[in-house]
Amino acid sequence: MRVVLQRVSEAGVTIDGHKVAAIGQGLLILLGIEDADTPEDSSWLTSKIVKMRIFGDDAGVMNLSVQDVNGDIIVVSQFTLHAMTKKGNRPGYSKAARHETAIPLYLDFIKKLENELDKPVQTGRFGADMKVTLINDGPVTILIDSKNKE
């Protein structure tokens, strides 16, 4: 699993002109799932995300987690995070998981994130054409890949 975490002061998702998710302070998470991913990847990532200290404390130092600041989260599925760009100019997506693999892992990721955060997480809609808006706070953008646990 691969995620792009963006610390936001606000974010939202619109599908077919209808706002389906909106948050203030928190995280916008773009989630890419590949065929080799498992529920263990989901567990490792969700724990890491909720505890990641990327919010400012009283001194302005990134020392607080999304949980510490009582922030909200939006999760958006994004198969393009597994784009392969080595050959030519058209990205390949053969590493991205197919729906039958990706959807259960996507739902597992959301459930585990809600359990770790101890509150509901908002989402886009898997496979939909979504319009994502955000105000990246900082900007703070972090890439995490469960296959590269450093």
Q: Is-catalytic flag, 80?
A: yes
Q: How far apart are CA 31 and CA 89, in angstroms?
A: 23
Out of 6, 46, 78, 123, the active site residue is 78
DSSP string, 56-81: E-TTS-EEE-TTTTT-EEEEEE-GGG
Q: How far apart are CA 53 and CA 48, in angstroms?
A: 10
Q: Which amino acid is at 114?
A: E
Q: How far apart are CA 84 and CA 68, in angstroms?
A: 36
Nearest of 65, 61, 150, 81 to residue 116 by alpha carbon? 65
Out of 6, 46, 55, 79, the active site residue is 79
Residues with a catalytic annotation lie at: 78-80
